[in-house]
Amino acid sequence: MAAREEFDLFVIGAGSGGVRAARMAAQRGARVAVADDAPLGGTCVNLGCIPKKLYSFAAHYAESFEESHGFGWAGPAPVLDWAALKANRALEIGRLNGIYGKLLTDAGVTVLAGRAHVVGANEVEVGGRVHGARHLLVATGGRPVVPALPGAEFAITSNEVFDLAQFPRHLVVVGGGYIACEFASIFRGLGAQVTQLYRGEQVLRGFDDDVRHFVATEVRKKGVDLRTQADVARIDRDADRLRVTLVDGSTLLADQVLYATGRTPNTAGLGLADLGVQLAANGAVVVDAHYRSTVPSIHALGDVIDRVQLTPVALAEAMALVDHLFGEGRRHVDYEHIPTAVFTHPSIGTVGLTEQAARERFDAVRVFRSEFKALRHTLSGNTERTLMKLVVDAASDRVVGIHMVGADAGEIIQGFAVALKAGATKAVFDATIGIHPTAAEEFVTMREPVVA
């Protein structure tokens, strides 16, 4: 039997946060191991951000070919080869898995393929072998959940949607968060009939209200049958299709039912509670400002702590933790004003406060809002419109919220996020020369507030 191996840091989970923490710690001279029973890269690389964005790119092509006629192009309509899209995506994900593996091994990290179980405050078991570690890091992410309802076993989640054997002619998407909205847009763009069901009054709870209503209008224009205040009562097999019965008694026939109604932290079966690690009601690891659990040698970060479920946040948390454990301890994560994008069609980019949140925080707020048809669509024939919005604290003139719905919103908002983080005022925006003709220039040319 091989001798017990001792590590300075043992990472459970090889997703974005876990891999970053392992690499950075190893580069600082620590002895590091990382264990995972799934392909390297975690949800983001394998079942989330990357494949989703690739499919979002794919979903724009049919619309782009149609728009090209307004610019003088002629030709037959393209036809989607679902099998080719899946195969090409799989090749790219496999390439990324290999890159993650090389990054770890090149840094000197010991990579263990297998499910880890924490058996002591400084002990982890993988594949029947116990390893010692001065510090343990739980970076196991989260997983989608389907609520208990009759026929729930017939539903799929975002884990399965990328590799469906047959392209769904009619896809029912249940949920109103960003994942549900993104997949509704993606599969509609790829050519499916899409019905999206959300039990609330409006999708994208937590986003700016103008953004929520604007996006709902735009996705409906693109053919998504978005139904709010609607929910599923049961799902039944009906020959080779699924019969979806709604709470109002109406029914839908679908090829697939995709549930995107929430995710839960991956802590089940790790043995954490047995050691006294405090878990929240949903299973999330409770940590302090330095990502330390109630057992001092055990840390956690990323989706498993259910703080901000975004890949760049997990990366930032990993850097802060490694600096705390093996460095000078100066790094910290600022959770204020984190930019994000939603890859609906059209896409959303946002950073800072919503108008409602700003009004709750400041005595007076000024709002600048612009809605227009992008230059491209003056010839494309597409009726898509763009929304841009600035929220300003009247007392300081600081821009505290920036919101956009339109083409490349994420790319545009990333740059403006730097300005917001730096404390730019509306006067600074006004003094900035725009790049013409672009949609982005609208952010520096809005002069009259719509709400004083």
The residues that are catalytic are 436
- Residues 210/196, Cβ–Cβ less than 8 Å: no
Distance in angstroms (rounded) separating the CA atoms of residues 445 and 452 = 17
- Strands (E) in 129-284, as ranges, are 129-138, 142-144, 170-174, 193-198, 225-228, 232-238, 241-246, 251-254, 256-259, 263-265
Distance in angstroms (rounded) separating the CA atoms of residues 115 and 11 = 12
Distance in angstroms (rounded) separating the CA atoms of residues 35 and 448 = 55
Integer CA distances (angstroms), 350 to 27, 211, 371, in order: 34, 9, 16
Residue 74 burial class via C-beta count within 10 angstroms: exposed 0-12, middle 13-18, buried 19 and up: exposed
Structure token digits, residue 230: 């609607």
Count of C-beta atoms within a 10 Å radius of residue 289? 9
Distance in angstroms (rounded) separating the CA atoms of residues 170 and 254 = 5
Residues ≥6 apart with Cβ < 8 Å to 170 = 192, 193, 194, 195, 252, 253, 254, 255
Q: What is the DSSP letter of 425?
A: B
Among 350, 392, 384, CA closest to 367: 392
For strands 263-265 and 142-144, give the pairing. Answer: antiparallel
Q: What is the DSSP letter of 233?
A: E
Among 95, 345, 313, 396, CA closest to 218: 345
Distance in angstroms (rounded) separating the CA atoms of residues 295 and 136 = 10
Cα-Cα-Cα-Cα torsion 376, 378, 379, 380, nearest 10 degrees, comes to: 60
- Residues 298/277, Cβ–Cβ less than 8 Å: yes
Among 196, 163, 151, 155, CA closest to 177: 196
